[in-house]
Amino acid sequence: MTAKVRIPTVLRPALGGVTSLAVEGSTIGEILNRLTSDYPAIRGQLVNEDGTLHRFLNVYVNDDDVRYLGGVDAPVANDDEITLLPAVAGGFL
């Protein structure tokens, strides 16, 4: 299965500035493994040492939160759209 992975602005510099990538895999875990294998600099921003999703990363398959679909075991179908949404914090009071 090939899915379209939307790359958030904060991760784009590590991926050469691309806004999306076609990535093969049948689960979110496989997609993330392929992505972090091809771009190791982003691994720590996506997954923990044990391969689970980083707690500050929200992942959606066709706008459905993968936390309710099985996490890294959530299935991915051909042409699904995966959105990576890291938490962003900061500011000045």
Q: How far is it, in rounded angstroms, from Cα 19 to Cα 6?
A: 6
Q: How confident is the model at residue 90 (pLDDT cuts 50, 70, 90)?
A: low
Buried b (16+ CB within 10 A) or exposed e, 33-49: bbbbeebeebbebbbee
Q: Give 31 or 90, the one with higher predicted confidence.
A: 31
* φ/ψ of residue 76, rounded to 5: -125, 130
The predicted pLDDT at position 50 comes to: 87
Per-residue model confidence as pLDDT tens digits over 25-84: 999 999 999 999 999 999 988 988 888 888 889 999 999 999 999 999 999 999 999 999
DSSP character at residue 23: E
Go through the domains of the chain in sequence order and give each one's CATH number. Answer: 2-86 (3.10.20.30)
Q: How far is it, in rounded angstroms, from Cα 17 to Cα 63?
A: 23
Q: pTM of the predicted model, to two decimals?
A: 0.87
